């Protein structure tokens, strides 16, 4: 079975936007990781964040390109956020008022816990705060 990793917004954006200050480090991380052909888990909320970020910067064509690639990839599972996951994420969010987690972060943490995924592809330190590992 392939290793599974959670794919976060910050990693996708850094990998796709070559002028991003983290592009090189994320690219090197991805090249090393891609050799093992990992299975990636993300959510429709992450997809929404990526598309919204790009579109609000007048990069509609890039938002469509990346969105289609994520939606159609056989190596990425996009978890639909149903009422149950939303409530679990909301409960997580309420429980950690001392942190600056976003609701999307909290839903991501719940998905990772439910899927027993220990590592996120992310630049967001909140994943480490929540007890997960991160790459790079």
Report mean pLDDT in 10-residue bins for the chain, 136 residues. Answer: 88 90 94 93 98 97 97 96 98 96 98 97 98 97
The pLDDT value given to residue 18: 86
Q: Find the domain containing 57 and state its range.
A: 4-80+117-135
Contact 107, 43 (CB under 8 A): yes
Number of domains in the chain: 1
Cα 121 from Cα 6, distance rounded (Å)? 6
The pLDDT value given to residue 38: 93
Residue 127 belongs to some domain of the structure: yes
The pLDDT value given to residue 3: 86
Residue 41 belongs to some domain of the structure: yes
Cα 69 from Cα 37, distance rounded (Å)? 16
Cα 127 from Cα 106, distance rounded (Å)? 9
The pLDDT value given to residue 1: 52
Q: What is the CATH number of the domain that holds 63?
A: 3.40.50.1010
The pLDDT value given to residue 20: 76
The pLDDT value given to residue 19: 82
> Which among 75, 71, 50 has a CA at the least distance from the CA of 62?
50
């Amino acid at each position: 079975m392939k290793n599974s990793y959670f794919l976060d917004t910050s990693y996708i954006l850094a990998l796709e936007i070559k002028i991003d200050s983290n592009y090189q480090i994320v690219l090197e991380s991805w090249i090393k990781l891609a050799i093992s052909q990992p299975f990636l888990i993300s959510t429709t909320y992450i997809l929404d964040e990526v598309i919204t970020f790009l579109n609000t910067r007048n990069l509609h064509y890039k938002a469509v390109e990346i969105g289609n690639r994520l939606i159609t990839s056989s190596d990425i599972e996009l978890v639909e956020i149903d009422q149950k996951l939303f409530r679990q994420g909301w409960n997580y969010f309420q429980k950690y008022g001392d942190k600056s987690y976003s609701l999307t972060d909290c839903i991501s943490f719940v998905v990772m816990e439910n899927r027993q995924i220990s590592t996120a592809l992310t630049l967001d330190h909140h994943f480490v705060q929540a007890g997960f590992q991160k790459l790079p």
